[in-house]
């Protein structure tokens, strides 16, 4: 279902509430626990850090994303690669921040499910009978994760409609719990003044490093932009008013409760375990702990679902933009945007399990959390600044945005780097692997382009026609279809000409050249036909949006049906016996598959990139499956890729006696 971009609807509000606020909405589970961990609870700590939380949510989420970045929609779609698609023609180097931001977002998608679900389940320790449950929490989380990832293959169309009401209950619960504890200490309301945030950062011991914990309150901000196409800009802005109010009320309640019950207490891990201190669950009466844990766990699962679905969408966009190896994509339902990538789902499941087994508790996971998303936010700042340039915004406003948000996000990045040795390296390791895949795939394509040789098609038309009419050459196929990467309709790859005329002459009645052009718009589906030689040589160009699955087999069949209907082409077999009965001729697709030739003299780094590229290619979806071709009609032709031929061969001839 596509929600109108600028229209507020009931359905749009429910969808927005259900699918994009899970990550930021579950942050009250762990933010204050991370702040007070190992520190003495004082007015300066609680009110100062809360002021930082309020203004971080306001500046990062409300101003940057809700008010500004949401304006940068690509035909109604948002996200890192949608923004990159808007600006890539203005600055080619912007592919680097796009890849870094995409890789960091994928790393965040692996960290979010473990920390959200673990934080929710740990609430059971608030009950005396469950104080010794630590050993079993890991197993409970692993079971939830296994079930969660297993159900991904069936899609979320059926359960998605329940996400909105469940999250409405969750946010209402946050607000009620917060309001019920405001009276514990009314001085907490001073946190609305930015004075206390400045005072905290400048005067509190090691306040800079505490900003790493504060930043966790806004980690879901990027999801607001990524899910723009699913929810619509106006629906996001309206629901954010409700969501932000509930979040701040809950943080106020947590702060007041901590000041009232634990003022001047040093919350060491031993004290925390002995007294069962949990800033979030301490707001609940004992009788509500179990229902609260259930609601929190469901909210955490919804948060995880949003990140996983976002990762699937991100990778599918990266594939269209040639930034990721082709992977098999399934469509569990007819709902637009619903997709499932089995191999990515399995890898993310292994990553989540590894995170849970390595860290085991949410307090240790906090060290790995946040680092990835602040990198993504920095990259969004760079991309959006260039978007503002492309829209001819006054330079003063562009520089103001760039300098202000770069300074804030570098400050948070510096604070989060303090956690590097305590687990932050896990995030950078995961993100680094993702970036390496993207960079290798992108760079290898650039290196390959040095080898691709295009020739003028018109120079070879007479030879192709002559071959087509030469009955002494056995007919290869009635219709021969080649996939070409030539953007210019008057050009063709030399390797295709070589395949037709030289390698093994391929006589055919009609030669088809099919080109797929991936557009910056998300959902365009168009084609145009160029009859180079009517009923002999035909070029078909598909113009597809970067979110459209290129099912070329079905699309090409549709094009042929249209041409036959308009009497533009005759696809009847030209074998005499079959022509009399009007039998349709056979179609054969030729896919040119490259392999790295040994006759290359590449620099060391380029050789590594190419080896990485072909290693990834062997494990990714084949060319024919990636384009949705019927493998029974496909013939694979291998040819060597020589990007840097060896020229200086020291070979000496000796005379025979």
Residue 1, pLDDT score: 46
Residue 657, pLDDT score: 63
Residue 579, pLDDT score: 64
Give the integer Cα–Cα distance in Å for 190 and 399.
32
Tokens for 472?
């002494």
Q: Is 643 a residue whose pLDDT tops 70?
A: no
- The strand pair at 491-493 and 454-456 is best described as antiparallel
Give the integer Cα–Cα distance in Å for 243 and 172.
9
Half-sphere exposure of 442 (CA within 13 A, CB side): 18
Q: Give residue 543's Cα distance to chain centre.
A: 23
For residues 93-111, give the mean pLDDT.
Answer: 89
Q: Is 397 a residue whose pLDDT tops 80?
A: yes
For residues 462-471, give the mean pLDDT.
Answer: 89
Nearest to 269 by CA among 278, 258, 260: 278
Residue 387, pLDDT score: 93
95-121 and 289-320 helices cross at what angle (nearest 10)?
160
Which tens digits make up the pLDDT trace of 50-90? 999 999 999 999 999 999 999 888 877 788 888 898 888 87
Which tens digits make up the pLDDT trace of 4-27? 556 777 777 887 887 788 788 889
Residue 600, pLDDT score: 64
> What values do phi and psi take at 493, rounded to 5?
-65, 140
Which tens digits make up the pLDDT trace of 113-165? 888 888 888 888 777 777 667 778 888 889 999 988 887 777 655 555 678 88
Mean pLDDT of the chain: 84
For residues 511-530, give the mean pLDDT.
Answer: 86
Q: What is the DSSP letter of 474?
A: P
Give pTM, 2 decimals. Answer: 0.81
Nearest to 269 by CA among 125, 112, 138, 415: 125
Residue 303, pLDDT score: 81
Q: Is 597 a residue whose pLDDT tops 70?
A: no
Residue 332, pLDDT score: 64
| Residue, of 546 and 179, whose pLDDT is higher | 179
Q: Rg of the chain's alpha carbons, rounded to an integer?
A: 29
| Residue, of 245 and 426, whose pLDDT is higher | 245
Q: Is 246 a residue whose pLDDT tops 50?
A: yes
Q: Is 32 a residue whose pLDDT tops 80?
A: yes
Lowest mean pLDDT among 136-145, 331-340, 357-366, 407-416: 331-340
- 644 pLDDT band (50/70/90 cuts)? low
Residues in the chain: 657
């Amino acid at each position: 279902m596509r929600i109108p971009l600028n229209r507020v609807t009931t359905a749009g509000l429910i969808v927005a509430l259900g699918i994009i606020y899970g990550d930021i909405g579950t942050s009250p589970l762990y933010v204050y626990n991370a702040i007070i961990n190992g520190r003495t609870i004082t007015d300066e700590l609680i009110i100062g850090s809360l002021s930082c939380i309020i203004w971080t949510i306001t500046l990062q989420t409300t101003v940057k994303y809700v008010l500004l970045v949401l304006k940068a929609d690509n035909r109604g779609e948002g996200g890192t690669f949608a923004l990159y698609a808007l600006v890539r023609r203005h600055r080619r180097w912007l592919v680097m921040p796009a890849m870094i931001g995409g890789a960091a977002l994928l790393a965040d998608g692996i960290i979010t499910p473990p920390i959200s679900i673990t934080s929710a389940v740990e609430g059971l320790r608030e009950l005396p009978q469950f104080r010794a449950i630590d050993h079993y929490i890991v197993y409970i989380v692993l079971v939830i994760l296994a079930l969660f990832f297993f159900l991904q293959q069936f899609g979320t169309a059926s359960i998605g409609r329940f996400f909105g009401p469940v999250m409405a209950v969750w946010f209402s619960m946050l607000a009620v719990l917060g309001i019920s504890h405001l009276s514990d200490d009314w001085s907490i309301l001073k946190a609305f003044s930015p004075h206390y945030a400045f005072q905290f950062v400048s005067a509190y011991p090691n306040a800079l490093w505490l900003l790493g914990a504060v930043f966790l309150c806004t980690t879901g901000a990027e999801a607001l932009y990524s899910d723009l196409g699913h929810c619509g800009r106006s629906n996001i802005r309206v629901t954010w008013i409700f969501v932000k109010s509930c979040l701040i009320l809950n943080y106020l309640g947590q702060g007041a409760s901590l000041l009232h019950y634990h003022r001047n207490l040093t919350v060491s891990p031993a004290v925390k375990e002995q007294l069962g201190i949990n800033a979030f669950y301490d707001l609940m009466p004992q009788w509500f702990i179990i229902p609260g844990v259930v609601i929190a766990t469901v909210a955490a699962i919804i948060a995880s679902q949003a990140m996983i679905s976002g990762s699937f969408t991100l990778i599918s966009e990266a594939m269209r933009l040639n930034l990721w190896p082709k992977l098999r994509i399934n469509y569990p339902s007819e709902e637009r945007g619903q997709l499932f990538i089995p191999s990515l789902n399995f890898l993310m499941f292994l990553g989540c399990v590894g995170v849970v087994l390595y860290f085991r508790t949410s307090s240790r996971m906090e060290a790995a959390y946040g680092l990835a998303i602040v990198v993504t936010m920095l990259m969004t700042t760079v991309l959006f600044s260039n978007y503002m340039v492309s829209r001819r915004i006054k330079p003063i406003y562009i520089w103001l945005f760039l300098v202000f948000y770069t300074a804030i996000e570098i400050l948070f990045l510096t604070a989060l780097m303090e956690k590097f040795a305590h687990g932050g390296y896990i995030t950078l390791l995961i993100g680094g692997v993702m970036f390496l895949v993207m960079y290798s795939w992108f760079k290898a394509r650039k290196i390959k382009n040095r080898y691709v040789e295009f020739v003028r098609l018109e120079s070879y038309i007479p030879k192709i026609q002559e071959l087509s009419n030469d009955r002494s050459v056995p007919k290869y196929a009635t219709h021969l279809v080649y996939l070409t990467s030539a953007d210019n309709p008057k050009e063709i790859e030399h390797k295709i000409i070589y395949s037709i005329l030289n390698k093994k002459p391929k006589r055919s009645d009609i030669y088809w050249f099919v080109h797929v052009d991936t557009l910056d718009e998300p959902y365009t589906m168009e084609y145009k036909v160029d009859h180079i030689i009517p009923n002999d040589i035909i070029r078909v160009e598909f113009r597809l949006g970067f979110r459209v699955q290129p099912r070329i087999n079905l699309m090409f069949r549709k094009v042929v049906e249209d041409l036959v209907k308009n009497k533009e082409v005759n696809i009847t077999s030209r074998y005499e016996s079959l022509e009399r009965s009007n039998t349709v001729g056979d179609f054969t697709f030729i896919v040119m598959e490259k392999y790295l030739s040994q006759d290359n003299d590449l620099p060391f780094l380029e050789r590594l990139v190419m080896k990485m590229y072909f290693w990834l290619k062997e494990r990714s979806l084949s060319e024919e499956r990636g384009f949705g071709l019927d493998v029974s009609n496909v013939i694979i032709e291998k040819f060597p890729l020589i990007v840097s031929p060896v020229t200086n061969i020291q070979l000496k001839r000796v005379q025979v006696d």
